[in-house]
């Protein structure tokens, strides 16, 4: 089975907790606060590995979690950062946020990396909160939680030229004849069950990657046959070789049917340059019908060639035409090199929802992070949390919404009882 899709869960490391400690040494009176900060949680990074060609590993391992930061210690010792998790993916992998369907990145070139989850920052120790008016603070923070999400991975093969056509047209035979690839070949339709890649080397200065796409049939764009699973692999090819089965009952009808499927699938497939080749011209029947097929294709604006992939007749001429067409196309800019502008989320914004008569829920990036980082068994931390809510306007907003003493207020995973 060819694994070209995957779904994985990733979790960046939580930050380490800050420490409440005081310096206690002989001959050092009033040593002051000495609690260190927690370490930062590890990130989750996807990177391109040119040695991979499928997403098979994600069929067995779906959960990836980075290391959390170490907690701070006394003597102002900061915790170590958590270990970053690096996940290898094959070239041509597109990364989506599974919940929003947003494209997060497209890994196509060697060296490309994509940060998909940031680790939480470490909580501050009490040494950070010392001021001239509060020289012995008993306050610290928990580490911030790391980001987590489900990702959807989609693999689209990276090839310069794609060979398309009806089943049993000879696509795999052509690939085997002109490259070192060894796809499965047999005298029946749907022999090829997965895309195959090969490198065509015409001379020291001319080479390109050729892809054999599994046979398409009429209705492939709607899910018939095997083509609907592999049509997306044609998206990255720049030139198409449309291979016609010379022994088919009507090669021209096959040609029109495949083009309709390309147009129905969309994504610009119908606009790609096409080179048309009639295969199996080594048989007398196909050689006899070749002039008629060539004339009909010429009327449609296509300059066709006759080849025999099995006898390797005319294949070199076809490949040089493909190389020339590639050279004439304008240089493409990789999607990974295009600037992506994503407006940052307003961390100060918040919303208030009434989930029940006496239950209120506060949503917001900063306020939820603040609730997660507050150490609730330290009075100073609780007072600081309350002051921050007042400063952000959340207290007034809750009162205006109608919150009463004794009501339950939910902020993130924290549940609190409202008091006037």
> Which residues are within 8 A (CB) of 352 and not within 5 positions of it... i.e. 6 or more apart?
360, 361, 362, 363, 394, 397, 398, 401
Question: pLDDT value at position 46?
Answer: 94
The verdict on domain 351-417 having CATH code 3.30.300.350 is: yes
Strands (E), 311-366: 351-356, 359-363
**DSSP states along 245-264:** ETTSS-HHHHHHHHHHHHHH
Task: Round to whole Å and give the CA distance between 199 and 333.
Answer: 22
If pLDDT is split at 50, 70 and 90, which confidence band does 20 have? very high
Instruction: Please list the residues that pair with 77 across neighbouring strands.
Output: 73
Q: Which residues of 191-210 are buried (b: 16+ CB within 10 A; e: fewer)?
A: bbebbbbbebeeeeeeebbb
If pLDDT is split at 50, 70 and 90, which confidence band does 216 have? low
Question: pLDDT value at position 206?
Answer: 82
Model-wide pTM > 0.75? no
Is residue 306 predicted with pLDDT exceeding 80? yes
Q: What is the dihedral of CA 105, 107, 112, 116, to 10 degrees?
A: 40
Spans of all domains in the chain: 1-155, 163-331, 351-417
- C-alpha distances (whole Å) from 140 to each of 97, 290, 321, 415 are 34, 83, 70, 20
**DSSP states along 99-166:** TT--EEEEE-STT-EEEEEPPPPPPPPGGGG--SS-SS----BPPPPPPEEEEEEEE----SEEEE-S
Q: CATH fold of 1-155, please?
A: Spo0b-associated Gtp-binding Protein; Chain: A, (2.70.210)
Question: pLDDT value at position 226?
Answer: 47
Task: Round to whole Å and give the CA distance between 15 and 72.
Answer: 10
Q: Give mean pLDDT, residues 244-262.
A: 87
> Which residues are within 8 A (CB) of 349 and not within 5 positions of it... i.e. 6 or more apart?
364, 365
Q: Give mean pLDDT, residues 33-53.
A: 92
Beta strands 44-48 and 85-89 are parallel
The candidate with the shortest Cα–Cα distance to 103, out of 154, 146, 66, is 154
Question: pLDDT value at position 367?
Answer: 93
If pLDDT is split at 50, 70 and 90, which confidence band does 189 have? very low
If pLDDT is split at 50, 70 and 90, which confidence band does 258 have? confident
Is residue 191 predicted with pLDDT exceeding 80? no
* % of the chain beyond a pLDDT of 90: 41
The candidate with the shortest Cα–Cα distance to 147, out of 17, 14, 259, is 14
If pLDDT is split at 50, 70 and 90, which confidence band does 8 have? very high
Is residue 280 predicted with pLDDT exceeding 50? yes
Is residue 235 predicted with pLDDT exceeding 60? yes
Task: Round to whole Å and give the CA distance between 25 and 224.
Answer: 79
Q: Give mean pLDDT, residues 114-133.
A: 94
**DSSP states along 163-205:** EE-STTSSHHHHHHHHSS------SSTT---S-EEEEEEEETT
Is residue 192 predicted with pLDDT exceeding 50? no
Question: pLDDT value at position 344?
Answer: 56
Q: Give mean pLDDT, residues 178-205.
A: 65
Q: Which residues of 322-350 are buried (b: 16+ CB within 10 A; e: fewer)?
A: bbebeeeeeeeeeebeeeeeeeeeeeeeb
Question: pLDDT value at position 63?
Answer: 96
Angle in degrees, CA 84, 88, 93, rounded to 5 = 125
Question: pLDDT value at position 270?
Answer: 81
Q: What are the tens digits of pLDDT across the range 354-372?
A: 988 889 999 999 999 999 9
Q: Give the pair of three-digit tokens for residue 264.
A: 């129905």
For tokens 């080749």, the residue is: 277
Beta strands 408-411 and 5-11 are unpaired
- For the ranges 197-206, 325-334, 397-406, the one whose mean pLDDT is highest: 397-406
Q: Give mean pLDDT, residues 154-173.
A: 82
H or E element at residue 395 = helix 394-401
Q: Give mean pLDDT, residues 100-116.
A: 88
Q: Give mean pLDDT, residues 179-205.
A: 65
- For the ranges 148-157, 199-208, 327-336, the one whose mean pLDDT is highest: 148-157
Q: Do the beta carbons of residue 85 and residue 45 sit within 8 Å?
A: yes
Question: pLDDT value at position 394?
Answer: 93
Q: What's the CATH class of domain 163-331?
A: alpha beta
Question: pLDDT value at position 54?
Answer: 80
The mean of the pLDDT values for the chain is 85
Is residue 188 predicted with pLDDT exceeding 50? no
Q: Give mean pLDDT, residues 309-337.
A: 80
CB neighbourhood size of 6 (10 A): 20
Is residue 254 predicted with pLDDT exceeding 80? yes
If pLDDT is split at 50, 70 and 90, which confidence band does 203 have? confident
Question: pLDDT value at position 183?
Answer: 57
Of the given ranges (81-85, 171-175, 228-232), which has the lowest mean pLDDT?
228-232
Is residue 228 predicted with pLDDT exceeding 70? no
- C-alpha distances (whole Å) from 178 to each of 171, 202, 312, 317 are 11, 9, 8, 11
Length of the chain: 420
Burial of 383 (0-12, 13-18, 19+ CB in 10 A): exposed
Question: pLDDT value at position 230?
Answer: 59
Task: Round to whole Å and give the CA distance between 238 and 24.
Answer: 71
Task: Round to whole Å and give the CA distance between 3 and 59.
Answer: 8
The candidate with the shortest Cα–Cα distance to 291, out of 301, 280, 278, is 278
**DSSP states along 38-51:** PPPPPPEEEEE-TT
Question: pLDDT value at position 220?
Answer: 43
Q: Looking at per-residue confidence, does 220 or 135 come out higher?
A: 135
Q: Give mean pLDDT, residues 168-176.
A: 83
Beta strands 161-164 and 239-245 are parallel
């Amino acid at each position: 089975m060819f694994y070209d899709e995957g779904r994985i869960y990733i979790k960046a490391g939580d930050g380490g907790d800050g420490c409440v400690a005081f310096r206690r040494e002989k001959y050092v009176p009033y040593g002051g606060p000495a609690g260190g900060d927690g370490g930062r949680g590890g990130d989750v990074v996807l990177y391109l590995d040119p040695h991979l060609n499928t997403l098979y590993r994600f069929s067995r391992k779906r959960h990836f979690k980075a290391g959390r930061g170490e907690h701070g210690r006394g003597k102002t010792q900061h915790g170590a950062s958590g270990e970053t998790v690096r996940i290898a993916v094959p070239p041509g992998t597109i990364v989506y946020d599974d919940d929003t369907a947003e494209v997060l990145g497209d890994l196509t070139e060697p060296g490309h990396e994509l940060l998909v989850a940031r680790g939480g920052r470490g909580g501050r120790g009490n040494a950070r909160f010392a001021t001239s008016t509060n020289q012995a603070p008993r306050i610290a923070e928990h580490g911030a939680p790391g980001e987590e999400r489900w990702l959807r991975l989609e693999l689209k093969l990276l090839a310069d030229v794609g060979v398309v056509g009806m089943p049993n047209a000879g696509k795999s035979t052509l690939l085997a004849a002109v490259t070192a690839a060894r796809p499965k070949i047999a005298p029946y339709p749907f022999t090829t069950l997965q895309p195959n890649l090969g490198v065509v080397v015409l001379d020291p200065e001319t080479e390109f990657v050729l892809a054999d796409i599994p046979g398409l049939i009429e209705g492939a764009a709607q899910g018939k046959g095997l083509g609907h699973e592999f049509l997306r692999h044609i998206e990255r090819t720049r030139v198409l070789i449309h291979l016609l089965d010379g022994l088919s009952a009507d090669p021209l009808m096959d040609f029109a049917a495949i083009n309709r499927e390309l147009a129905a699938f969309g994504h610009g497939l119908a606009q790609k340059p096409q080179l048309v080749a009639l295969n199996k011209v080594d048989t007398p029947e196909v050689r006899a019908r070749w002039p008629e097929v060539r004339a009909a294709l010429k009327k449609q604006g296509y300059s066709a060639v006759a080849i025999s992939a099995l006898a390797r007749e005319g294949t070199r001429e076809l490949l040089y035409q493909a190389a020339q067409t590639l050279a004439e196309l304008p240089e493409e800019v990789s999607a990974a090199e295009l600037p992506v502008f994503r407006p940052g989320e307003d961390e100060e914004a918040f919303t208030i929802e009434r989930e029940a008569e006496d239950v209120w829920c506060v949503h917001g990036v900063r306020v939820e992070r603040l609730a997660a980082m507050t150490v609730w068994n330290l009075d100073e931390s609780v007072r600081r949390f309350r002051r921050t809510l007042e400063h952000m306007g959340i207290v007034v907003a809750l009162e205006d919404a109608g919150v009463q003493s004794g009501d339950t207020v939910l902020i993130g995973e924290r549940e609190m009882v409202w008091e006037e």
